[in-house]
Structure 1
Amino acid sequence: MVREREPSATRWAGVSLADRRSERRSLLVAAAFALFGTGGEAAVSVRAVCREARLHARYFYENFADTGELLGAVYDKVEAELAERLLGELAAAGDDLSARLRAGVHGVLEFSSADPRRGRVLFTEGRHHPVLTARRRDTQSALMDAVLQQNAQSRPEADPCRAKVSAAMFTGAMVELAHQWLSGALGDDLDAVVGHAASLVRLGDPR
């Protein structure tokens, strides 16, 4: 029987109980990210995660009810990192709608492929996992809301129904674009892909 490896007790010496728990949670999330990102949903089990994190199983259940809850935490962490990256790129793009569109598309694709594990968490692996499916649906809804808000600010006179149709089509297309980019089907020229995507999108254009 393979036993979970656990760091020496001296590792936690002088660390408060709350900080110990927070660190162990971070270790478990990092371990699950590594396993899921390389081996998919099947690679993530309590035993495998604890072995990767070098923690006893009791610490897993101290933080998570099951692997589904853990995968939800992995998704939340990667999605938050992407959101932070996008905020920076969008701020740098200024108020020009076209520049912001290019920055957003570039940010999502570059972030997801710079470390392929991120793309697997956000888009490709575990596509039928209930927790990840719900997280991805919520992210798409948030993206659609953000697009609608951008449209309302830049073109307040636009027809509301047309704006919603445009936003819905954009969010769905963005997910598929990410799938195609991550699969390698679009080649390796990110700037070209972003340029083509931007030329095909006219968010909120009343024409």
Structure 2
Amino acid sequence: MSLRVPARTWGGRTTEERRAERRARLIDAALDGWIENGWAAVTMRGVCQRTALNDRYFYEHFADRDDLLGATWDAVRTEVFADLTAIFTGHLELPPLDILRAAVTRAVRLQSDDNGRARILLADHAGSAVLEQRRKTMLTDATDLLVVTSRPYLRQDADELEFRMSTLVGIGGFIELLTAWRTGAMDIDGDRIIEHTCRLGALLATEYLPPEVITPAG
């Protein structure tokens, strides 16, 4: 019978807890710098200065700057997707277009949130292969989320491949519209984006959802 050796603690925290805290601090520092000056301004030296950690602790968690950028993106993407997934799964009693409106509204509000975290997902990533690939993957993941949550409402004769293609086009356009709004390329406001996107969603729904689901009785 082996005896379990208690984890050593410093200041009431284990080694793993302290490592996790340092990693979180480095990511938060990268995110702060990213929001203030863009991803290109995020450097190993900069995040170490912000956290008062030396480069040994940086390389304890990240192979290089690209690794840090990817981890920072992933942290925000996970947070945003958890938020949106909760809307889809937490309002199943509502008609699907009402759920869509709630999700679209939340996505728009996240882009104007004071903390600015979600905005890094739609920023200009040209020049960073790591971030450009993650943006492409985000589009696919968002499409998967909407397809999966819509599946119970689809007409029995609906072509799911066609629905997926239409959803991909819709989400891609929505992301580009949000980007144009955030960069000032289009003089619009968040409420107009919500209304326009939901109107397009309703048109798309007529192709794939039965009428009673689109406009429930009562």
Normalising by structure 2, what TM-score? 0.80
Q: Distance in 2 between matches of 1:159 and 1:92?
A: 25
Following TM superposition, by how much is the alpha carbon of 1:204 offset from its aligned partner in structure 2, in angstroms?
Answer: 4.7
Identical positions, percent:
31
Q: Distance in 2 between matches of 1:58 and 1:107?
A: 39
Q: Distance in 1 between matches of 2:82 and 2:52?
A: 29
Q: Distance in 1 between matches of 2:128 and 2:75?
A: 17
Q: Provide, for residues 42-65 of structure 1, a one-character-per-residue CA deviation record: whole Å limited to 9, x for no partner.
A: 211110110011111110000100
Following TM superposition, by how much is the alpha carbon of 1:93 offset from its aligned partner in structure 2, in angstroms?
Answer: 6.7
What is the 5 A alignment of 1:42-121?
Answer: 42-90=40-88, 91-92=90-91, 94-115=93-114, 117-121=116-120
Q: Cα 1:93–1:112, aligned 2, differ >3 Å: closer, same or farther? A: farther
Unaligned stretches of 5+ in structure 2? 1-9, 209-218
Do 1:144 and 1:171's aligned partners in 2 also have CA atoms closer than 8 Å? yes
Aligned-pair Cα RMSD in Å: 2.1
Do 1:46 and 1:67's aligned partners in 2 also have CA atoms closer than 8 Å? yes
Higher CA-based Rg: 2
What is the 5 A alignment of 1:128-143?
Answer: 128-143=127-142
Q: Provide, for residues 82-139 of structure 1, a one-character-per-residue CA deviation record: whole Å limited to 9, x for no partner.
A: 1222133332474411112111211111112203632442111324411112222221
Q: Cα 1:128–1:172, aligned 2, differ >3 Å: closer, same or farther? A: farther
Unaligned stretches of 5+ in structure 1? 1-11
Instruction: Give 3-state SS (helix, strand or coil) of 1:158's partner.
Output: coil
Q: Provide, for residues 66-97 of structure 1, a one-character-per-residue CA deviation record: whole Å limited to 9, x for no partner.
A: 11111111111111211222133332474411
Do 2:139 and 2:168's aligned partners in 1 also have CA atoms closer than 8 Å? no
Do 1:78 and 1:118's aligned partners in 2 also have CA atoms closer than 8 Å? yes
Q: Distance in 1 between matches of 2:115 and 2:173?
A: 20
Match of 1:205 in 2: 206
Aligned length: 195
Q: Distance in 2 between matches of 1:100 and 1:14?
A: 44
Match of 1:150 in 2: 149
**One-letter amino acid matched to 1:85:** D
